[in-house]
């Protein structure tokens, strides 16, 4: 069963290849053209054979007429009798005006015979090796002066048999041409698919973070090799850019984060030296808050850059989402209780995905933090992990105001904040970071109403991770 499914999958891929379809169209038109050419040649040859037969009959008729004019009906009968005795392909019939057969090798005048001198074909009986067989002849009949009817014809059974064999061979020839053409198309498409699979596997490994991979180049030096060379050149440039990105990120992390942390420490030292009741103490408190917000923005941007560039793909491994949910929920439980919000974690078993534990935890923390920030006293936040046949979903659902459907795609962009959240603390990078983490894990970020039609509808954010490794990446966030 598995082998049959694999075969049908391969056959379906084969039928959808451009090379196979192009070759199939070429073979079809070639078969039609070849059949038309052979049919025209055969038709022309049949015309030539019929014309040759007609010319032979006309010449013989002319000779018999001269014989009749010179020797009369008795001489004509003798000539016909002598020709019949030669057992050739000639067919003769001479009848008097009263219906008596005077000479010839036909017992009666064929029904199709016409005495106007036009050619016609007819079947007749002939003895052959002690048996009577039906054969076909072509000839003409005309009236001789004196009321005599003379028919002169030639046996064309062999020509008719050749014609039948030819007509029978045409479908077989076309079928064989199509068969060999399809066979050649399968071989060519199989080679094309094999080389395309190499490119696909290489690109999948590159998407997974191995920027050192290159597309193999064969000795054929064909179009596929030219494509591979161009891809390898592009990959080399991409690898250099990614290496430069890593160096920039490391430099920024060192050159900016360290001064910011030093600034915060100095502000804290200055604050400790001041009287808590002095105005300067409050100013430094505000400066510390702004510094913390700046450090938070910097860290978020750094994480987004790392996720988008794939720098930390090497650190990915098996991650149990149920453990991450429990740990992050415990961290935010005191804050939820302080705002009189119910934070609930639904029980689940061990559900493991391939990912970066730190980034997945940060993404979940951002989702819970957003839910707490925009929910009020009495609201409920539910965090859960569930599985489907194709994915493992991590969900944060709240009963807060939610996000309008037409704004859900926009809130995933950097530094985007809706009008109703302008006065609340934040940088507008929370959902942008979650979106970047989803892209890095080939996952989907889905935003929807917790309770459609309710007021307020709430917001349900779902991080949907693919179950199977090596699945084609789905980097498009969906908003419903």
Domain map (residue ranges) of the chain? 15-204, 208-310, 316-479
User: What CATH number labels 208-310?
Assistant: 1.10.287
Mean pLDDT of all residues in 249-267: 76
Contact partners, residue 228, CB within 8 Å, separation at least 6: 199, 215, 216, 217
Is it true that the peptide bond before 399 is cis, omega within 30 degrees of 0? no
User: Which pLDDT value is given to residue 471?
Assistant: 40
- pTM across the whole model: 0.53
Local structure of 91: helix, strand or coil: strand
Mean pLDDT of the chain: 80
CA dist 201 → 215, 240, 472 (Å): 9, 21, 11
pLDDT classification of 217: cutoffs 50, 70, 90 = confident
Element of type H or E holding 138: strand 132-144
Q: Rounded distance, CA 185 to CA 188, Å?
A: 5
15-204: in CATH 3.30.720: no
Q: Tell me the backbone φ, ψ of residue 472, rounded to 5 degrees.
A: -60, 130
- Helices 2-15 and 157-207, packing angle to 10 deg: 100
Q: Strands 120-127 and 148-155, how do they pair? A: unpaired
Q: What share of the chain has pLDDT > 70, as a percent?
A: 84
pLDDT 10s digits, 329-359: 999 999 999 999 999 999 888 899 988 888 8
Tell whether the model's pLDDT for residue 323 goes beyond 90. Answer: yes
CA 294 and chain centroid, separation: 48
Local structure of 35: helix, strand or coil: helix
Q: Rounded distance, CA 312 to CA 1, Å?
A: 40
Q: Rounded distance, CA 244 to CA 266, Å?
A: 33
pLDDT classification of 3: cutoffs 50, 70, 90 = low
User: Which pLDDT value is given to residue 421?
Assistant: 55
Which CATH architecture is the domain 316-479 placed in?
Answer: 2-Layer Sandwich (3.30)
């Amino acid at each position: 069963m598995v082998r049959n499914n694999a075969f049908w999958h391969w056959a379906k891929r084969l039928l959808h290849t451009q090379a196979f379809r192009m070759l199939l169209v070429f073979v079809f038109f070639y078969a039609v053209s070849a059949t038309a050419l052979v049919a025209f040649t055969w038709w022309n040859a049949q015309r030539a054979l019929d014309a040759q037969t007609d010319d032979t009959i006309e010449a013989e008729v002319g000779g018999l007429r001269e014989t009749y004019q010179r020797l009369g009906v008795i001489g004509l009968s003798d000539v016909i009798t002598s020709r019949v005795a030669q057992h050739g392909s000639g067919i003769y019939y001479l009848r008097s005006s009263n219906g008596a057969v005077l000479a010839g090798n036909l017992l009666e005048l064929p029904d199709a015979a016409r005495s106007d001198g036009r050619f016609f074909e007819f079947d007749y009986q002939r003895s052959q090796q002690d048996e009577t067989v039906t054969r076909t002849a072509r000839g003409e009949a005309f009236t001789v002066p004196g009321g005599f009817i003379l028919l002169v014809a030639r046996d064309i059974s062999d020509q008719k048999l050749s014609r039948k064999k030819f007509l029978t061979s045409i479908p077989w020839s076309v079928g064989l041409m199509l068969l060999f053409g399809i066979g050649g198309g399968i071989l060519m498409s199989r080679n094309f698919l094999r080389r395309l699979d190499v490119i696909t596997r290489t690109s999948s490994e590159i998407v997974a973070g191995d920027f050192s991979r290159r597309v193999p180049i064969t000795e054929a030096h064909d179009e596929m090799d030219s494509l591979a060379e161009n891809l390898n050149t592009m990959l080399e440039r991409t690898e250099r850019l990614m290496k430069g990105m890593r160096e920039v990120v490391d430099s920024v992390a060192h050159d900016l984060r360290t001064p910011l942390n030093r600034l915060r420490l100095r502000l804290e030292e200055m604050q400790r030296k001041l009287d808590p009741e002095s105005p300067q103490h409050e100013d430094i408190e505000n400066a510390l808050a702004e510094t913390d917000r700046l450090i938070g923005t910097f860290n978020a941007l750094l994480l987004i850059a790392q996720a988008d560039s794939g720098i930390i793909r090497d650190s990915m491994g098996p991650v149990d989402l149920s453990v991450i949910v429990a740990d992050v929920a415990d961290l935010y439980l005191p804050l939820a209780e302080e705002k009189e919000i119910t934070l609930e974690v639904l029980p689940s078993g061990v559900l493991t995905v391939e990912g970066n534990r730190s980034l997945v935890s940060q993404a979940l923390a951002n989702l819970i933090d957003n839910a707490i920030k925009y929910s009020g006293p009495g609201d409920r936040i539910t965090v859960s992990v569930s599985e489907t046949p194709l994915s493992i979903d991590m969900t944060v659902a709240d009963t807060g105001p939610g996000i309008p459907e037409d704004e859900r795609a926009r809130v995933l962009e950097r530094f985007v904040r809706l009008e109703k959240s302008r006065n609340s603390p934040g940088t507008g990078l929370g959902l942008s970071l979650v979106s970047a983490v989803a892209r890095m894990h080939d996952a989907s970020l889905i935003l929807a109403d917790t309770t459609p039609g309710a007021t307020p509808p709430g917001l349900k954010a779902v991080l949907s991770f693919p179950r199977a490794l090596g699945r084609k990446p789905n980097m498009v966030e969906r908003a419903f």
